[in-house]
Amino acid sequence: MHSAVGSWRWKETQLSFSGVVLQIYSFKPGTALGQALGGRADELVFVPNSTTGVNVVAQSFALQPGDEILTTNLEYGACDAAWQRVCAQSGAQYRRVEVSLPFDREAVVKLLMSAVSSRTKLIYFSHITSTTALILPAAEICAAARDRGIATFIDGAHAPGQIPLDLDAIGADFYVGNCHKWLCAPKGSAFLHARASFDAGCDCYQLGIRARHRWSFRL
Ligand SMILES: Cc1ncc(COP(=O)(O)O)c(C=O)c1O
């Protein structure tokens, strides 16, 4: 596949990403996109779109009754729905804090952190918001969440190609991004990044053939 991000060579692979995804077509390490995202090709998988990536993580993330996913009122509707479904199924809460206008980057970090509770398991937010095109302070939110031991997941559907993107510098545990928007790649070109070091008891979204040798099921 040739696109604005260069030539993509796919390989079928078995990546566990702390159990989030197994057997999916991934970017071969060293390809242009992996390098463009801060050399993280080994931790990327190819997904059809950001919505799929959000569903993959939402359905893999271990949630218990009473747990909380903290987010904003600015999220994309399909992704809200993905989280609302798993929260309804698990007894967790999907809690949206209201980001007021005019937009103030520092205030957003404070707002989210002031809403954190002992039940907050993950903070999920858009890098660039859908209808309002606000750039949320991704690295700052991730750093503050990390200090509190809370995982982070960024919906970067609109970020690749619009703003510089260094996944290491941002420091999110999960990041999805579309290449078929601002990179002008063909429809169906998106990535999911999960930090290899992330471990929060994620379950497995999908099993592939090689999983039978290396996966212990949690039944
Ligand atoms: C912030 C955000 N997230 C996710 C999406 C969904 O993108 P896709 O349909 O490629 O999954 C959009 C679509 O515009 C969006 O604006």
For 56-79, the pLDDT digits (tens) are: 999 988 899 999 999 999 999 999
Q: Where are the alpha helices (DSSP H) in the chain?
A: 32-36, 50-60, 77-90, 105-115, 138-147, 167-170, 211-214
**Residues having CB within 6 Å of any atom of ligand 1:** 49-51, 76, 78-79, 126, 130, 155, 157-158, 178
Ligand 1 centroid – CA 113 distance (Å): 25
What percentage of the chain carries pLDDT values higher than 70? 75
Sorted by where each begins, the domain ranges of the chain are 2-9+31-203
| φ and ψ at residue 115, rounded to 5 degrees | -90, -10
Q: In the structure, what pLDDT confidence band is assigned to residue 194 with cuts at 50, 70 and 90?
A: confident
pTM of the model: 0.87
Tokens of 70: 């903290």
Q: Which atom of ligand 1 is nearest the CA belonging to 52?
A: 11
Q: Which of 1-5, 38-42, 100-104, 195-199 has the lowest mean pLDDT?
A: 1-5
Q: What is the pLDDT of residue 34?
A: 78
Q: What is the pLDDT of residue 213?
A: 59
Ligand 1 centroid – CA 125 distance (Å): 12
Ligand 1 centroid – CA 216 distance (Å): 34
Domain 2-9+31-203, CATH among 3.30.200.20, 3.40.640.10, 3.50.50.60, 3.10.20.30: 3.40.640.10
Report the chain's terminal Cα–Cα distance, integer Å. 39
Query: What's the average model confidence in pLDDT over 142-166?
Result: 96
Q: What is the pLDDT of residue 62?
A: 87
Q: In the structure, what pLDDT confidence band is assigned to residue 43 with cuts at 50, 70 and 90?
A: confident
Q: Which helix (H) or strand (E) holds 71?
A: strand 68-72
Ligand 1 centroid – CA 114 distance (Å): 27
Nearest CA to ligand 1 atom 16: 130
Query: What's the average model confidence in pLDDT over 188-200?
Result: 81
